[in-house]
Amino acid sequence: MPVIVRLDVMLALRKMRAKDLAASIGVTEANLSLLRTGKVKGVRFDTLAKLCAALECKPGDLLDFEAGAEIEANGAEEEDEGAD
C-alpha cells in the first residue's frame, strides 16, 4: 500500500502510550492498533483531527506516501473491452 502510517513514530516522539492516546481521542485500543499497523482502508477526518490535536502534529506527520508502491484493487479486475 502506498500510504504509510507513522503513528508509532509520533507516539514514541511524544513519549505517549497507545492506550492513553486511544482513551484521549475516544477510540478503542483495537481500532487504534489497526490504524497503527496500517490494516485499515481509511480514516475519518474527525479521527485524524483528534489524533493530530492529541499528538500536537499535522496529518503529514502521521501519514506518508511512497511513490511507486502498488495500489491494491478493490477485488475487481479490469475486463477487456473487446470481448462481447
pLDDT at 34 exceeding the cut of 50? yes
pLDDT at 83 exceeding the cut of 90? no
pLDDT at 81 exceeding the cut of 60? no
What is the arithmetic mean of pLDDT over 49-58? Answer: 97
Q: What is the mean pLDDT of the chain?
A: 86
What is the reported pLDDT for 79? 44
pLDDT at 21 exceeding the cut of 70? yes
Strand partners, 65: 3
- What CATH number was assigned to the domain covering residues 3-59? 1.10.260.40
b/e burial code for range 13-34 (CB count within 10 A of at least 16 → b): eeeeeeeebbeebebeeeebee
Report the run of H or E that residue 65 belongs to, with start and end. Answer: strand 63-65
User: Residue ranges per domain, the chain?
Assistant: 3-59
